[in-house]
Amino acid sequence: MIEKEDGTFLLVNKPIEWTSFDVVNKLRYLLKIKKIGHAGTLDPLATGLLIICTGKMTKRIDEFQGLEKEYTGKLVLGQTTSSYDLETDPTPPLEISHITNDQIVTTANSFLGKIQQVPPIHSSVKVNGKRAYAFARKGQEVTLKPREVDIKEFEITNIAKPAVTFRVVCSKGTYIRSLANDLGKTLGVGAYLSELCRTRIGDFQLKNAETPEDIAKRISDLRTDKTDHTDI
């Protein structure tokens, strides 16, 4: 399955509540290989496509990270969280009955193109050599600089207020949590991200990915097959 010298890459469907490094560590153990890494972090509460590179293929991590991404997700209007998702508790709900479906769609469209986006404080962005989330979890204030990202598509796929489902196609470095928060802020009622799934990275599709459990079973079956066919 794996050429340990030359390396390869795997398409993994990351389970919810796993960190991206959890996936890397699991596969490092399964494959008995040291040189392994992922090409683009997914938050623990997100699911979906993660590219794992091994051996010499790790040299292509930057290339994979730079590819266009596609996500589907759900946001909740009328409430906010400090993490912009469900890592932290939502505020009490605000009245949102005055927000129309057309307003939601029009506001989403206003984010299309190249925009300046501030990452969530609960993120892995480094500030003075430390991850921003390290400050956030201690209740310390920190200012993050905005960065340019490209929102190529922001499609509202269903509205059942307060829930709004969507599909986003975007550039490297885009925080969908920040996009949800900014949409809510623009509407004047707040919003947080409640679900997120990465469905595509470049031409690589989630439908072609395997769960860590699938990969573990495949490796086990291959090793069993090799043992059964060993000459005595």
**Active site members:** 43
Residue length, the chain? 232
Please list, residue by residue across 52-83, b when 16 or more beta carbons sit within 10 angstroms of its beta carbon and e when fewer do.
bbbbebbeebeebbebbbbbbbbbbbbbbbbb
Q: Rounded to an integer, what distance in angstroms lies between the CA atom of residue 184 and that of residue 109? A: 13
Helix H, strand E, coil C: the string for the chain is: CCCCCCCCEEEEEECCCCCHHHHHHHHHHHHCCCCEEECCCCCCCCEEEEEEEEHHHHHHHHHHHCCCEEEEEEEEECCCCCCCCCCCCCCCCCCCCCCCHHHHHHHHHCCCEEEEECCCCCCCCEECCEEHHHHHHCCCCCCCCCEEEEEEEEEEEEEECCEEEEEEEECCCCCHHHHHHHHHHHHCCCEEEEEEEEEEECCEEHHHCECHHHHHHHHHHHHHHHHHCCCC
Which residues on neighbouring strands pair with residue 191, listed in sequence order?
A: 77
